[in-house]
Amino acid sequence: MDEIFQGNALNAVDAKSRLSVPAFVRSVLDLSSDKRMVFIGKHERKICLTLYGDSYAGFLLGELERRRLAAEAQGGDPDLIEDLESGLFGMTEKVNYDAGGRIVLPSMLRDEAKIEGLALFVSRGRIVEMWNPRLAVEQGGDMLKKIATYYLEQRGGKA
């Protein structure tokens, strides 16, 4: 069954990189698996992280193979596909969450996405993006900016 995520949330990240995975994410993952885990990886193009479950991980494997075959057929550089593989799988970790949804965000991923004291979670259907909300305001499209601005203003800060 494909996981479909809907919703958004802003959660605090403490000094030890602990935070809660929002309920809207866990409720979908818990339906598709009994493992209490989420994949967290660096976004391919944006300064944010992606979260997803088992079915999307399988989709990524198939998508990568499709890209590899297309590149080979067109005489493409195999190093580019290897680099893509390193990014998609080498910069992704399977993270377990406890009964309360708490995780420890891997430090390399936290640094890559410039996550500080807050993490903004925004659904994208089959994945969820995790942003530093200030970067989301600076770099996001209209809807992402609107969501991030709302949460920052609710916390009493300027967007």
CATH number for the domain spanning 110: value is 3.40.1550.20
Nearest CA to 13 among 122, 130, 129?
A: 130
Q: How many domains does the chain have?
A: 1
Nearest CA to 116 among 131, 101, 102?
A: 131
Residue 71 belongs to a domain: yes
Residue 158 pLDDT = 64
Residue 3 belongs to a domain: no
**What is the 3-state composition of the chain as percent helix, strand, coil, each rounded to the nearest 5?**
45, 25, 30
Residues 130-156 have pLDDT tens digits of 999 999 999 999 999 999 999 999 988
Residue 14 belongs to a domain: yes
Residue 62 pLDDT = 85
Residues 63-120 have pLDDT tens digits of 888 888 888 888 877 777 787 777 778 889 999 999 899 999 999 999 999 999 999 9
pTM of the model: 0.87
3-class DSSP state for residue 24?
A: helix
Nearest CA to 102 among 36, 18, 33?
A: 18
Residues comprising the chain, all counted = 159
Its domain, for residue 83, covers 8-154
Residue 81 belongs to a domain: yes
Residues 119-133 have pLDDT tens digits of 999 999 999 999 999
Among the residue ranges 2-6, 8-12, 94-98, the one predicted with the least confidence is 2-6
3-class DSSP state for residue 21?
A: coil
* For residue 159, pLDDT beyond 60: no
* DSSP states of 35-90: S-EEEEEE-SSSSSEEEE-HHHHHHHHHHHHHHHHHHHHTT--HHHHHHHHIIIII
- Mean local confidence (pLDDT), 21-26: 95
CA distance 110 to 119: 10
CA distance 113 to 151: 18
Q: How confident is the model at residue 60 (pLDDT cuts 50, 70, 90)?
A: confident
* For residue 1, pLDDT beyond 60: no
Residue 35 belongs to a domain: yes
- Mean local confidence (pLDDT), 5-15: 97
Residue 104 belongs to a domain: yes
